[in-house]
Homo-oligomer: A and B are copies of this chain.
């Protein structure tokens, strides 16, 4: 045995001695080297491609001679003729060991290949999807030993792939006989295996299926539904698409949808039907965009807030609208497309819904936790997913806390007088000269600032149409920096601020950013009402964060992560001037992009991560903002810009905010107005 050739695999470094004639795939399996194969070594799937290296390898202590692997054989030649093998590549199931050899497994031949996420975060997703393809050769039926075709398929999976106690989805059973005969008893099955459950056949194709296998990661938001179509073999995102949530017509925000269900018998059923129909449309659209058939989409992962979660599942969300905000079910759910009545997907397509953290903190927050991993952070991280509802996580290795806070839609440009959704023509960034008090700005669809040459030509098409979420945050913060707004949020008059852009509006004032009325366009201003709306939103966000910090017993955090599609566009400086987030060094504020969507994609591509987030969610400390008396106190104190009581020393290093006050005795009325609205 000791004279058997030595086989060394890279990059794993795994090594062992094998008799002359051992196929490379066999050696890899015995050593536990991650080398893919769908056909089980029959030389037809080409997933097991490897690259032998020749010459001296002092590091490994071997010299690899030219004849270290068997000669190129007929199967490899046929494959090369038909599809083309890259230079130097061999099929691991065909090439056999003839002498000491160093074999490299290229990334695309690894089952558990890593896929680098597009987002800034360095963490890669290791491919280990719940559903995988297996090619099998099935025994033909025999009258003397009668067994069902399904039972022989299960036996083939046991004998050829060591898969025990395989079951099959009911629609597959009905089609199996035709598929087996069409494939001449050679078929490929999609096998779903998630946790302790038995492997489950969810699709089958005649012969070797080369059409691929896909999954959808869906971030089902109150406003938009975003989906990523992912190749489950490679991890590649084939297409991304988003549509508006059609439930908007029943209510803009979550609570108005819950109210709709309370006030209208059958309203929940209507909303469930609406969202399911649009999910079907989205699945069809995204599959068409990627040029694949929806029958190949066999896994779907959903992340969503609790109200969307219940409405997706067909559960009346009425309990989520009143204390104690009881979820019908909080654990992760494994379902089928048929269960959800999604007709665009195969009935047997598997659905995984991440667990909810609490009645107000949903599977979307769990997905952020999966993506950003606060529980693995060495320093104390505050993660804020900014949307109509803000989900807030605070944690490090010792403990993770979570809450949600009702920020309302102001951060998304809604309920803002000149507000609009992020679309071409919307002001997304703004700077106000502290001396002249004049603004310059950028609009979506143009890379130039408004004071740069060519800006007006380039924006002539779209016009300047309004202010989006990130624009309004910058506008309010810049107004505060420029001394146009005081710490209490009052806009000064033209006399107080020294600019004619401060224009009267009833008993209050507004700041004029751009007047296009001469050209038939809008007049874009920031009104006192807009400032109040932003103050309400940012106070809610900050109060939620402070509540978690209280619970944790700290008065500062080490870093802040802004998540959410919108979070990616928020300027950290302006967010801090506004007092949206606690004071931290500016370089400690990072954006995680659409972390919930990333979390969905991780759960889609890696089945182990599902157990991980289920465990993490159980261990998270849940804080309910709605019943904490301190929340109201934090909320009131956070109303000031940046804050009435908390110091912002890091912010002070960067900019000193003017000590102005425009209170002329009328602010008490504003305060009352705010409180009335909060109660409403």
Which residues on A are within 8 Å of B, measured CB to CB? 140-151, 168, 170, 173-174, 176-178, 313-316, 318-319, 323-331, 335, 339, 356-359, 622, 624, 626-627
Instruction: Report B-chain residues with C-beta under 8 Å of the C-beta of A626.
Output: 143
Instruction: Report B-chain residues with C-beta under 8 Å of the C-beta of A327.
Output: 146-149
- Supply 10 further A-B pairs (C-beta < 8 A) apart from A144-B624, A151-B329, A174-B315: A143-B325, A146-B330, A148-B356, A149-B319, A150-B331, A151-B330, A173-B315, A173-B329, A177-B316, A177-B319
Closest 8 CB pairs of A and B: A148-B330, A141-B326, A146-B358, A150-B329, A148-B329, A148-B327, A143-B624, A143-B324
A307 to chain B, nearest CB (A): 14
Give 14 CB contacts A-B under 8 Å.
Answer: A141-B326, A143-B359, A144-B622, A149-B327, A149-B328, A150-B328, A151-B329, A170-B313, A170-B335, A170-B339, A173-B313, A174-B313, A177-B318, A177-B326
* Cross-chain contact A331 with B170 (CB below 8 angstroms): no
Instruction: Give CA–CA (A144, B325) in the complex, Å.
Output: 11
A271 to chain B, nearest CB (A): 13
Q: Using known A-B contacts A170-B339, A177-B315, determine if residue A324 contacts B142 with beta carbons closer than 8 Å.
A: yes
Number of this chain's copies in the assembly equals: 2
* Cross-chain contact B148 with A326 (CB below 8 angstroms): yes
Main DSSP-derived SS at the A contact region: loop
Instruction: Give CA–CA (A150, B333) in the complex, Å.
Output: 12
Instruction: Give CA–CA (A331, B151) in the complex, Å.
Output: 7
* Cross-chain contact A141 with B328 (CB below 8 angstroms): no
> In the complex, which of the residues B146, B174, B323 contacts A143, with contact meaning CB atoms closer than 8 Å?
B323
Instruction: Report B-chain residues with C-beta under 8 Å of the C-beta of A627.
Output: 143
Instruction: Give CA–CA (A230, B143) in the complex, Å.
Output: 37
Instruction: Give CA–CA (A145, B627) in the complex, Å.
Output: 13
Instruction: Give CA–CA (A63, B432) in the complex, Å.
Output: 101
> In the complex, which of the residues B168, B176, B328 contacts A173, with contact meaning CB atoms closer than 8 Å?
B328
A72 to chain B, nearest CB (A): 40
A372 to chain B, nearest CB (A): 21
A627 to chain B, nearest CB (A): 6
A361 to chain B, nearest CB (A): 8
Q: Using known A-B contacts A151-B329, A324-B141, A339-B170, determine if residue A146 contacts B177 with beta carbons closer than 8 Å.
A: no
Instruction: Report B-chain residues with C-beta under 8 Å of the C-beta of A624.
Output: 143-144, 146
Instruction: Give CA–CA (A142, B627) in the complex, Å.
Output: 11
Instruction: Report B-chain residues with C-beta under 8 Å of the C-beta of A325.
Output: 141, 143, 146
> In the complex, which of the residues B174, B316, B319 contacts A328, with contact meaning CB atoms closer than 8 Å?
B174
Q: Which residue of B lies closest to A356 (CB)?
A: B148
> In the complex, which of the residues B174, B330, B335 contacts A147, with contact meaning CB atoms closer than 8 Å?
B330
Q: Which residue of B lies closest to A168 (CB)?
A: B329
A667 to chain B, nearest CB (A): 34
* Cross-chain contact A148 with B339 (CB below 8 angstroms): no
Q: Which residue of B lies closest to A148 (CB)?
A: B330
Instruction: Report B-chain residues with C-beta under 8 Å of the C-beta of A178.
Output: 316
A144 to chain B, nearest CB (A): 7
Instruction: Report B-chain residues with C-beta under 8 Å of the C-beta of A176.
Output: 328-329
Q: Using known A-B contacts A313-B174, A315-B174, A319-B177, determine if residue A146 contacts B328 with beta carbons closer than 8 Å.
A: no
Instruction: Give CA–CA (A146, B174) in the complex, Å.
Output: 42
Instruction: Report B-chain residues with C-beta under 8 Å of the C-beta of A146.
Output: 324-327, 330, 357-359, 622, 624
Instruction: Give CA–CA (A554, B524) in the complex, Å.
Output: 101
Instruction: Report B-chain residues with C-beta under 8 Å of the C-beta of A335.
Output: 170
Q: Using known A-B contacts A174-B313, A174-B314, determine if residue A331 contacts B148 with beta carbons closer than 8 Å.
A: yes
Instruction: Give CA–CA (A283, B335) in the complex, Å.
Output: 28
Instruction: Give CA–CA (A428, B313) in the complex, Å.
Output: 58
Instruction: Report B-chain residues with C-beta under 8 Å of the C-beta of A170.
Output: 313, 335, 339
Instruction: Report B-chain residues with C-beta under 8 Å of the C-beta of A331.
Output: 148, 150-151
Instruction: Give CA–CA (A416, B69) in the complex, Å.
Output: 76
Instruction: Report B-chain residues with C-beta under 8 Å of the C-beta of A329.
Output: 148-151, 168, 173, 176
* Residue in A144, A145, A168, A178 with the greatest tally of chain B CB atoms within 10 Å: A144
Q: Which residue of B lies closest to A152 (CB)?
A: B326
* Residue in A146, A323, A331 with the greatest tally of chain B CB atoms within 10 Å: A146
A318 to chain B, nearest CB (A): 8
A320 to chain B, nearest CB (A): 10
Instruction: Give CA–CA (A270, B196) in the complex, Å.
Output: 39
A197 to chain B, nearest CB (A): 10
Instruction: Give CA–CA (A291, B85) in the complex, Å.
Output: 72
Instruction: Report B-chain residues with C-beta under 8 Å of the C-beta of A316.
Output: 174, 177-178
A555 to chain B, nearest CB (A): 23
A528 to chain B, nearest CB (A): 36
Instruction: Report B-chain residues with C-beta under 8 Å of the C-beta of A148.
Output: 326-331, 356
Instruction: Report B-chain residues with C-beta under 8 Å of the C-beta of A330.
Output: 146-148, 150-151
Instruction: Give CA–CA (A323, B141) in the complex, Å.
Output: 9
Instruction: Give CA–CA (A210, B327) in the complex, Å.
Output: 28
Instruction: Give CA–CA (A329, B176) in the complex, Å.
Output: 9
Instruction: Give CA–CA (A53, B680) in the complex, Å.
Output: 68
Instruction: Give CA–CA (A133, B321) in the complex, Å.
Output: 32
Instruction: Report B-chain residues with C-beta under 8 Å of the C-beta of A314.
Output: 174
Instruction: Report B-chain residues with C-beta under 8 Å of the C-beta of A326.
Output: 141, 146, 148-149, 177
Instruction: Give CA–CA (A148, B329) in the complex, Å.
Output: 4
Instruction: Report B-chain residues with C-beta under 8 Å of the C-beta of A150.
Output: 328-331
Instruction: Give CA–CA (A151, B355) in the complex, Å.
Output: 12
* Residue in A178, A327, A357 with the greatest tally of chain B CB atoms within 10 Å: A327
Instruction: Give CA–CA (A531, B145) in the complex, Å.
Output: 36
Instruction: Report B-chain residues with C-beta under 8 Å of the C-beta of A144.
Output: 622, 624
Instruction: Report B-chain residues with C-beta under 8 Å of the C-beta of A141.
Output: 324-326, 359
Instruction: Give CA–CA (A240, B162) in the complex, Å.
Output: 47
Q: Which residue of B lies closest to A359 (CB)?
A: B146
Instruction: Report B-chain residues with C-beta under 8 Å of the C-beta of A174.
Output: 313-316, 328
Instruction: Give CA–CA (A328, B170) in the complex, Å.
Output: 11
